[in-house]
Each structure stands twice: as C-alpha cells, then as structure tokens.
Chain A
Amino acid sequence: MKTLVLVKQVPNTDSPFRINAAGTWVDEGNLTYGLNDYDRYALEEALRLKDKGAAGEVVALSVGPERAATALRTCLATGADRAIHVKDDRLAGSDPLAIAKVIVAAIKGEDFRLVFAGLQADDDNYTQTPALVARLLGRPCATAVLKAELLDGAIRVERELENNRVQVIEMTLPAVVAVQTGINEPRYASLKGIMAAKKKEIRTVGLSDIGLDAAQVGAGAARLKTVRLAHPPKGKGAEILKGSADEVAKALVLRIREKTGVL
C-alpha cells in the first residue's frame, strides 16, 4: 500500500518578515525556509504506518520552486522512500485550487491508498488544499486529525472539534488525512538517514510532464488574488508599562485591582 505525504516549504517563523514593494506579499528574499511544521506530523504518521508494516512505500510530494527540494530532502532523510517535486516557473502565483489540480495531475496513475497532509501551512494558513485534493479525486478527507488507525480497507480517525470534543469517523480508502499538530511526536532525521537520503530519488516534473495546461495555473488563472498585505492594525493597543520588574508588577496590581476588582 503506497502512501503519499503532501508537504510544503514555508518561511521559518523567526525569519525577518517584510512586505514586498508591491504591498501584496512578503519579500521572499529575506526569508529562511523549512518544512512546514504540520507536515512533519503528517510525514511521521505515514512513517509509523510503514514501521508497523501497514504501509509500503512513503512518497513525499511538494509543489514549489527550486528551494522546495530542500524540504523534500528533509523528508527523505527522515524516512520517506522517494519524492516528487513539481516545479515550473509558470506555477508562481497559483491559488490553492490550482495547486490541488497540479497535485492530482502529478499523482495520476500512482494509486496511493492514503494521502497524509498537514492541516494548514504556516505561510498562507489556507487550511484547504488537502480537502480540495480529496474532492478532485472524489475521495473523503478528514481534517484536524488527532488520531488515525488503519482498519481493513478503511481508516478510523478522530477529528478535533471545539470545546475538547472529538468526532470519530471511518473513511473508505483511498482517503485523505489532514493532521493536527500534536497527533504524534515527529522524529528527526538521523545522520544515517541524511546519508541514505542522498541515494534516494527526487523526481522533478514540470507542467508538460504531468499533462496540465499552463492556462489553469499561475497568477493569471488565480481567482484568489491578494491585493494587499499589511501589518495588522494595532487595535486599541495595550498600554505598555515600563520600568523594573518590581515597578511594573506593582503598576499591574494597581490596574488589575482598579479594572477587575479581583484583588
């Protein structure tokens, strides 16, 4: 049983974020990148199934520019068997539905029984690509999954709901599982894994290789157009107290007493 893991390379959260000159996205030149945090949990879930003998080959797939190969290399070093990198300059500016179409085209004929992905990406926070892919494949998808258990021809998952409740559902395979952080404890790449990854395959494909018309992707085809990216409004803004720790502590006590009456 082959398992696919969808991954994305995203800016590290401690990168120096600046808005680009057009005011429409971040200036990518300043950023450092790494594997999306949620995706580490998705990969771990696939690798655990493999460790148990329940899954066969684990394949990582990413759609992204040249730099995304580094994220795939991380997946290979951590334990994925091979990787697919969809890379094409014409993909720049694609919206999530276009990316989902690219993913579906890229895995045509691969016959994956399970697709793992992270609930969301730490850059655009869209929380939609895994389920878009599922719908395009005509398959079920569960999001915010906190627990997954493989059954015979199905997978039983626990979805995180609000107020500390979970929904348990069973999905007939093939199925897409978008995991929540905390579902497992992701392993890190070992030195041995890093060495072994050098021999593993990253297959790089472009739009013509996967048979997708360039008119369906890229900034020109995107219906979701970011017209403005800005710093969040400061809102009413907090009164910022200054001074030594003891001074601010005393000032806080005064305000808490005055405003809340709890002291």
Chain B
Amino acid sequence: MACKVLVVAEQDGGAVRDITWELLGLAHRAAKEAGWDAGSVKALLLGHNVEAAAKGLAERGAAEAIVADAAALANYTCDGYAAVIEAQAKAESPALILFGHTPNGWDVAPHVAAGLDAPLATECSAVGAPGGKPRFTRKAFNGKFVQEIEVGDAPLSIATVQRGAAPAFSGATQGTVRKVDPGIDAGTLQARFVEVRKGESGGLDLSQASIIVSGGRGLGAAEKFSIIRDLAQALGGQVGASRPVTDSGWLPHEHQIGSSGVTVAPKLYIACGISGAIQHLVGMRGSGYIVAVNKDADAPIFGVADVGVVGDLFEIVPALTKAVQEARR
C-alpha cells in the first residue's frame, strides 16, 4: 500500500526507543483523522543488526518496517542518515514524515527537509491531519505561546515531535519487514562517528530520586542555591536545576532536568524560580506531585504544577524549609 505517514524510528543498541512507539501512536491518529488507511503508516529503521527491532515495529504499529541495515549506519551521522532517509522518502512518497524531537531527530530532520524541499515543523506537541491537511501545534517564544502551523498545498511535510505528544501505539499489527539497500559508503561520509560517552558527571542519578527540589534562573546567583539545598536536605531529597543554572556553572550539568538533561519522575517535585520553558517541562511533568514557586503568575510552570505560590522565593523557600523541619519533629 502507498505510504502516507513515514515514522523515522530510533533505536539505541538495537532496542526501539520509546519516542518511536509514541510516533506510531500519533501516526495512526493522524491517519485516521485524514481518512488514510492504517496500512499507510510505515516505519523506517536505520542501524546495524537491528532485525529484532524491525520485527517489533511491524508487530506494534508499522504496516511495513523498512530496514536499512549497514555497518556504516551502526552509529548516527548526519549525512549518512540523511542520505538514506531522503532516498527512502523519495521512494515511498509519504504526505507526512515524523521524527522524534530528540538530539538525533532534530539534527537530521532539516537535512531531509532541505533535500526534499519540504516544510519542517519542529518540536511539535500535536500533529493532526484534518481532511488530509497536516496541522502542527508547537510552542514558540520558549513556551510563552502556542503556535499552530499549516502547510498549504505542500505535498510533503515533515515534523519533529516532542516526547509525550501522543500515547504510545498499544495495539498489535501484522506488518511486514522489508530490507532495503542503504546504498551508502562509509568512506564518502563527511561526518565520522568517534564515540558516545557519558558527559562529565559526579555519579548523581536524579532519574531515580523520589523527592527533587529544583532551582532556576530566579535564584540569580550560585551562592543563593543554599536555600534550595536546605529545603532538599530537610525533605531528604535531591537538588535539581533548569538549564540556565547549569549553563551559568552554578551547578554541574548532572543536576539539569529537561530535554537536554535527565528526565525525572519523583513523587514530589518542587520548582523554585523556574519559569517552565518547554525544555524543562518535558523532563519533569511526569512527577507525582508538583509544587511551583515563582514571582511571575503567568509562568508556564503553573500550568503543570498541582499547587503554586506566586511570590518571592527567598521568603517562601526558607519558610517551607522551616515548616518541613517542624513537621518532621
């Protein structure tokens, strides 16, 4: 069957990444909305020795899993991956190509868009296709606004989709797996993979923490972080941070929560002086109970928080620390 939605799958060490199952869920919803057959949803998988992952895709959402398997694709490179995706997209001629808004997804998608002269909507929180016309929802101005985009009569449009935009595909499919010749020669690539390694880290793993107290730009300076540490200590929790904090060197990068840091899901998350840029929200909105303290009543963090206080964190956080200490006595 002709392909309408092509999901570019991501795998890590041969395991399909969670974002791909969400993309397949989203692809089926969009296809349904557009009136496209479920059989028009296909997945494209690149890698080396990824047969099991390909089979998984065909069993869970993809009517066809197209597999480009080559030693030169064992690791991601922008030009190697772009060339293969572009060639397969040309062959399949879909109306919509979906990538995850992941470091590799946003890295490669523009190459494909420019190569195919197609519009690219990035970091989408929703993708619809009413009447077969793709429509994209995303944040602009760092989350201050929601932007809706249409693509007119463009025969192909491309999106990178943020985590959590749709539930993972949960049904079962009897798709097929088809191997294609990637037709790339590692020797001609302009980008060469060297290694993937851990960033600089002191061994902190916030992903398993059950209580996290995070500070943001609102703290204003490294030394002001003591009030965050005090509250974390009173609660028996860990200290987290938003990107501006680690960029400024107030805390090491391993404390950073969000799309470029760690994803956390503690029972209790307390955000202090964090406005709630989407990059931060995607890393913490799965938390059980979210408390926000911020001086700006319009800060997006209050949109995901369960309870909030609008005010001066330098008054509220120490008062909360004291109240917690008293409650623990």
Question: A residues near B, CB below 8 A?
Answer: 11, 13, 17, 19, 26, 95-97, 100, 122-132, 134-136, 139-144, 146, 156, 159-172, 175, 180-182, 223-241, 245-246, 248-250, 252-253, 255-257, 259-263
Contact = CB atoms under 8 A, between A and B. Distances in A.
Interface centre among B191, B290, B305, B316 (most CB of A within 10 A): B191
A48 to B, nearest CB: 17
B174 interface: no
Contact of A259 (B111, B306, B324): B306
A17 B298 CA distance: 12
B113 A249 contact: no
B56 interface: no
Interface in B99-146: 102-104, 106-111, 113-115, 117-123, 135, 138-146
Given A162-B103, A226-B148, A252-B323, 8 more contacts: A146-B199, A161-B103, A166-B199, A167-B196, A226-B149, A241-B309, A245-B312, A246-B323
A162 B264 CA distance: 12
19 contacts: A124-B141, A131-B110, A131-B114, A135-B110, A163-B207, A163-B262, A163-B263, A164-B262, A168-B193, A224-B120, A226-B149, A229-B140, A232-B146, A237-B303, A238-B305, A240-B310, A245-B319, A253-B327, A262-B211
B207 A223 contact: no
Interface of B: 75-79, 82, 102-104, 106-111, 113-115, 117-123, 135, 138-152, 154, 157, 160, 189-199, 201, 207, 210-211, 235-236, 243, 246-247, 253-254, 259-263, 267-268, 288-292, 297, 300, 302-312, 315-316, 318-320, 322-324, 327-328
Contacts of B135: 227
B121 to A, nearest CB: 6
A146 to B, nearest CB: 8
Contact of B82 (A128, A135, A169, A227): A135
Query: What DSSP secondary structure best describes chain B's contact surface?
Result: mixed
Query: What DSSP secondary structure best describes chain A's contact surface?
Result: mixed
Contacts, number: 278
Contacts of B157: 223
Contact of A262 (B75, B117, B267): B267
Contact of A169 (B194, B289, B307, B310): B194
A253 B323 contact: yes
A19 B154 CA distance: 27
B113 A170 contact: no
B126 to A, nearest CB: 11
Given A168-B195, A239-B308, A125 B142 contact: yes
Contacts of B110: 128-132, 134-135, 141
A260 B267 contact: yes
